[in-house]
Chains A and B, each alone.
Chain A
Amino acid sequence: MNGAAAGQTPPLREAASTSEPIKAIRLRHPWRMVFAVLLVAIFAFFVVDAAFRPAYDWPAVGKYLFDRRISMAALVTIELTVFSMVIAIILGVILAVMRLSPNPVVKSVAWFYLWIFRGTPVYVQLTIWGLISLIYTSIDIGLPFMTPWISFSTNAALNTFTLAVIGLALNEAAYMAEIVRAGLLSVDKGQEEASVALGMSWSQTMTRVILPQSMRVIIPPTGNEVISMLKTTSLVTAVPFSLELFTRSRDISAETFNPIPLLIVASIWYLFFTSILMVGQYFLEKRFSRGVGDRQTDKSDPAAPTTGAITGVVPVVGAGQPTVVLPPRTDAPGTTGDGGAR
């Protein structure tokens, strides 16, 4: 039997058993090399030039990098980012669920919110928040057209830091809502049906089945939004709130008449924080790709085509500002968000 089989297909068997690595002259790419050398040369020239250019004033950069005022301002920037982002994510999830609601009123309210907050510049919104005490002089709690139970002055209740957080958070919530909505929609409809068919309630279906799966789609663009938010905090000078990194650096340089080194100092701090965020995002993504790391190999998996298609869209929806690249990944199949990273 073995002999007969070999007799029928000898060339194939021969080739399979004696195959060896191909030894061929590699295709040369001389222009690639030339271009690379040119780029390195230009970069090196720029670095050397910058190192000796007096306007950069590197000693001043070194002096102010760990200046107490600057590091305190960096801390305030982090606080602004964290508070705004936490509120924005919570509000974003609520808005996303509202937009997917079958109730037309609920849906319209969410749409209207998005229309307003996504349709106007964040700088304008922050300015308006700064002027809120001119529009609403007091905050009253009670029934309309009756003497309020509690009343306090807006100026006393809301300091500029709070206003900055509110302004940033409400604007960001509109973008987060779209990201969460895209994530929820990326989960196969069959998942909800299977969950419902088992007798699970709407909230159980959401928290146990839909949200955990949509995280894989939600996290990459949310990471971008956090990084984006960190940089957008530099706009709260519009409120005006002046204790965060950028405004503080500007204020210091206004005294020293030497703005360039302080801009470099601020940039170094921003870069430091965004780098940390990128690392954190990498590990979060790994955590939430559990069970789906190599799904491309399984052709019968229903969710595979859907997720791939949706993630490409997400960053476009959420990108309010230019964003930073995602960290490189080793697990090439099944990764998300690559298409949107810039």
Chain B
Amino acid sequence: MSATTVGGVASVDVPMVLAEQVTKSFGSNEVLKGITLEVKRGEVMCLVGPSGSGKSTFLRCINHLEVLSAGRLSVDGELIGYRESNGKLYEMAPKEAAKQRRDIGMVFQRFNLFPHMTALQNVMEAPLRVKGMPKAKVESNARDLLARVGLADRADYYPAHLSGGQQQRVAIARALAMEPKLMLFDEPTSALDPELVGEVLDVMKGLAREGMTMIVVTHEMGFAREVADSLVFMDAGVVVESGLPSEVLANPRHARTQTFLSKVL
């Protein structure tokens, strides 16, 4: 809606995510020290960096799970968490924030599936309750999505009876059920046994091919090299280096990037 025209620029040119000097502090601990970056429509961006560098916090800011301390962050031309009018910022009511989150899918490191619901119910929950769509339509959509992540035959399983990789694929289907315009992945394969990582990455590659805009916090450099359009290296709350994955991975310019990559590659 607000992605129509901004200053005479056509809507297709509005970046999907625009972060300007995003800062976040927990008490006196400054976790993000002014992150500025842009994610274009259809772009896949990988965020890498040592643990504690603020990658996950930044990702959570995009979804308003964390509230910014300073800076501006907008998704699809729409300011996140605030409304701007007459040059003043107004904090959003929880209802409005919830509305923004509908369009942003999120996948967590620990899956966070609802354990008291089956895989199918997990996928159906949000479209039913949040969008209020008719049940029959929601169910057929949910079954399609489960089939898309290769779990059509696991629809009636509870999360506890699924492997980690299967749980994460259900979680991806659950996020996709809201038809988001942006998908955030917070270390989606870090909690998985090594042999299960591939099945989740395959689903994510499929999504990328279909043109989904994605921001992926990951340690999977192979995935970044193969799928990502851009790679951002963060350390200690700042963007140290960014660029094409092939370039950054092959010729890191900064010493910190070099040190990090020498450990993970």
Contact = CB atoms under 8 A, between A and B. Distances in A.
Interface of A: 188, 190-191, 193-202, 204, 208-209, 212-213, 290-295, 297-298, 300-303
Interface of B: 63, 65, 94-95, 98-99, 101-102, 104-106, 108, 110-118, 125-126, 129-130, 158-160, 164, 167, 171, 174-175, 178, 191-193
Nearest to A199: B102
A204 to B, nearest CB: 5
A201 B115 contact: no
Nearest to B167: A300
B183 to A, nearest CB: 11
A163 B12 CA distance: 69
Given A190-B110, A294-B160, A200 B98 contact: yes
A208 B122 CA distance: 11
Q: Which of A195, A200, A291, A297 has the most CB of B within 10 A?
A: A291
A197 B65 contact: yes
Contact of A200 (B113, B126, B171): B126
A202 B94 contact: yes
A202 to B, nearest CB: 6
Nearest to B127: A198
B112 A302 contact: yes
Nearest to B95: A201
B21 to A, nearest CB: 24
A202 B167 CA distance: 25
Most chain B CB atoms below 10 A, which of A204, A295, A300: A300
A298 B129 contact: no
11 contacts: A194-B108, A194-B171, A197-B101, A198-B178, A199-B101, A199-B126, A208-B125, A291-B159, A292-B115, A300-B164, A300-B193
A235 to B, nearest CB: 38
A122 to B, nearest CB: 35
B98 A291 contact: no
A291 B158 contact: yes
B129 A200 contact: yes
